[in-house]
Structure 1
Amino acid sequence: MSAPLPTAQQLEERALAYLQRRETPAWTEADQAELDAWIDASTAHRVTWLRMQQGWQRVDRLASLRSPQLRQPVRAAWRFGTRRQVALAASLCLAVLGGLLLVQQGIGPFDQRYRTDVGGHQTVPLKDGSRVELNTDTRLRAAVTEQAREVWLEQGEAYFDIAKDPHKPFIVHAGERRIVVLGTRFSVRRDGPRVEVAVAEGKVRVETPRAAKPIPPAIATGGDVVIAEAESVLVAAASPQRVDSELAWRHGLLVFDKVTLADAAREFNRYNRKQIVVVDTLAGDTRISGSFDAANVEAFSRLLERAYGLRIADHGERIAISN
């Protein structure tokens, strides 16, 4: 039986222990070789090291600018504390300094925020040459620097075309999930705790770093779809056609293959302020297939009336559909 994967906290404590030892005169070339080997052992190690190193550099820089006294308790824990104490001191100091940044600037110094309204669609370039397309009603924060490349999908759906950089993995945080890539094209959709990843090209790794029990990362390649919810992560070896359907929103389309009208209505409602209300279960269970203009809910309802004989009642802000 293989050993359990280390948790995110264990990785952070290990990185902080190396940072602590490196500050002392006893640090040797052998210690540096050990650190280099640990960093190269996995992408998770490299990402943790870059994040913690950047955090400590920011602590020093901001603390010296704002209050020299703020750095003293952190340095004391750095030199004399246990790993857990060091981690706690780092968390507290970063929280304090992070709060100062939020008050003064609204977001971190390297962060950029993007959002779309209901029915909106926006393509944004990132500093590393990557591109992100935001779907309807989406909020995303990006921090792309010389040290790391990370984005946080706070709500909605986005398509990523990632520039390759073997030294800096690109990380997408979506709820409890973390998607790690080097260079590829894929989409991430977040519906509360549910995360869906569709890979158009390349390879991605979907991790659950803060799960109550270790969950092995899911590896997906072009044509695969990953669905993650609660403690479950499913990798479906999908056809390129299914991924194309998943990404049809990039062209303003919704593509359905024998989905229920209830599910189709929920998809249309993501793109339109005029909402579809399915009145009864019999109508909701009707199976729908085809390609539809995501922004034209009236045309969709007329097709339902003609093809299935369903009753359509337009009430201005909503369309009621019944059998």
Structure 2
Amino acid sequence: MTFTHSRSKTPPVSRADREAARWVADQEGGALDAEGEARLEAWLKNPSNAQAFARAQGLWRDMGEAVSLSAPSYTAPAVPPRRHRRDYARDAVRTRRWAPMAATGMAAALALAFMGLDIPTRIQADAITRPGEQRTLTLDDGSIIQLNTDSAVAVAYEPGRRTVRLLRGEAAFTVAPNTQRPFAVEAGGGSTTALGTRFVVRRRGPLTQVSVTEHAVRAASRPGSVVVGENQTSTYRPHQAPTAPTPSPLGVDAWTDGWLVFEDQPLSQVVEEIARYSSSPINVVGRSVRARRVSGAFRIDQPDLTVARLEQTLGVRTTRLIGGVVLIHD
């Protein structure tokens, strides 16, 4: 089994990307007042700024788990002893002071992400896909991995065990049976062990979703495990047991055949999914527009045509900014 690795020089961080990192950190941290929001709106009128802001929002979502895990916690007793009340007040102040520092750290991390320094993933990965790219890998034992857009895996085969780590993104696994060498996919603080043939694992921030299309798997995290049967889905988070299996969403593996399938989903979620396969950011503007319901099947490799279909069927409009940013609005 041979994997090829691509190497490229690290691009410089643009001024727009640095400013976008700060704007997103301030907005998500609640540091923007009405005047600040007005300044942000004015800044976003520049197409390059709008594109950088869209990238920063996506990176912020991906990095949210790291911030929540590293943030200091503060829990005071309901009625602390009198002699310690001043200490609790001091600790509360320290906790409040941490918030702007967290935003600063996130802004710096965003800037590093713009530089393409996803160092841990690149060091560990045996195979990576770019946004919009998909790859099919055949392993030594005949098992097949279908790697979806913007995803990465690392393969570790040993005499008594076959392990694949899903470092980010989504992959479908068709497993060659071998009872002497269990096949497991590690992701998001848990693992999925094949009890049959085919299943899909997807990481979305701290959430890992396991969907079975043939036979069954055992999904496990530190607190417990559950058997997920055919056409069922379970999810787990770090240090949380997998949920009880429920019927899988429609078209959960349609992407392996080049399609995205939606049934009565809000436009905001539909566009978020479509944007994973687009080279240009796509955003929905307006609460009522974001809430409109969508059903249908769309080709993965035709995001522009998909946006045009949404425009026709939902009666929305699209605006394409210089730099490629697509806005869907009333």
TM tier, smaller? 0.5 to 0.7
Aligned-pair Cα RMSD in Å: 1.7
Are residues 1:163 and 2:171 paired? Answer: no
1:172 is paired with a residue of what secondary structure? strand
Deviation of 1:114 (Å): 0.8
Quick one: structure 1 residues 262 and 220, their matched pair in 2 at CA, closer, same or farther if it must change by over 3 Å?
A: same
Correspondent of 1:300 among 297, 306, 317:
306
The code of the aligned residue for 2:246 comes to: A
User: Equivalent residue for 1:62?
Assistant: none
Are residues 1:280 and 2:286 paired? Answer: yes
The 8 Å contact of residues 160 and 182 in structure 2, kept in 1 or not, is answered as no
Map 1:181-196 → 2, pairs under 5 A: 181-196=194-209
CA distance in 2, matches of 1:175, 1:229: 7
Are residues 1:319 and 2:326 paired? Answer: yes
Deviations 1:281-317 (A, max 9, x none): 1100000000001222221222222222112112251
Are residues 1:198 and 2:200 paired? Answer: no
User: Equivalent residue for 2:237?
Assistant: 229
Question: Higher relative contact order at CA 8 Å, sep ≥6: structure 1 or structure 2?
Answer: 2
Deviation of 1:182 (Å): 4.2
Deviations 1:55-105 (A, max 9, x none): xxxxxxxxxxxxxxxxxxxxxxxxxxxxxxxxxxxxxxxxxxxxxxxxxxx
Correspondent of 1:268 among 269, 274, 294:
274
Deviations 1:19-61 (A, max 9, x none): xxxxxxxxxxxxxxxxxxxxxxxxxxxxxxxxxxxxxxxxxxx
The 8 Å contact of residues 221 and 241 in structure 2, kept in 1 or not, is answered as no
TM-score normalised by the chain length of structure 2: 0.59
The 8 Å contact of residues 189 and 196 in structure 1, kept in 2 or not, is answered as yes
Which is greater in Rg?
A: 1
TM-score normalised by the chain length of structure 1: 0.61
The 8 Å contact of residues 224 and 241 in structure 2, kept in 1 or not, is answered as no
Deviation of 1:272 (Å): 1.0
- Residue identity over aligned pairs, in percent, reads 31
CA distance in 1, matches of 2:288, 2:320: 19
User: Equivalent residue for 1:175?
Assistant: 188
Map 1:144-159 → 2, pairs under 5 A: 144-159=157-172
The code of the aligned residue for 2:305 comes to: A
Deviation of 1:229 (Å): 2.9
What residue ranges of structure 2 are gaps of 5+ in the alignment? 1-122
The count of residues paired between Structure 1 and Structure 2 equals 206
The 8 Å contact of residues 217 and 227 in structure 2, kept in 1 or not, is answered as yes
Deviations 1:175-229 (A, max 9, x none): 11111124421010011211111101111111112xxxxx220111111111223
Structure 1 residue ranges (4+ consecutive) displaced by more than 4 angstroms after TM superposition: none
CA distance in 2, matches of 1:122, 1:312: 31
Deviations 1:146-178 (A, max 9, x none): 232101000010000111111221111001111
CA distance in 1, matches of 2:196, 2:142: 11
Are residues 1:142 and 2:155 paired? Answer: yes
Deviation of 1:232 (Å): 5.1
User: Equivalent residue for 1:259?
Assistant: 265
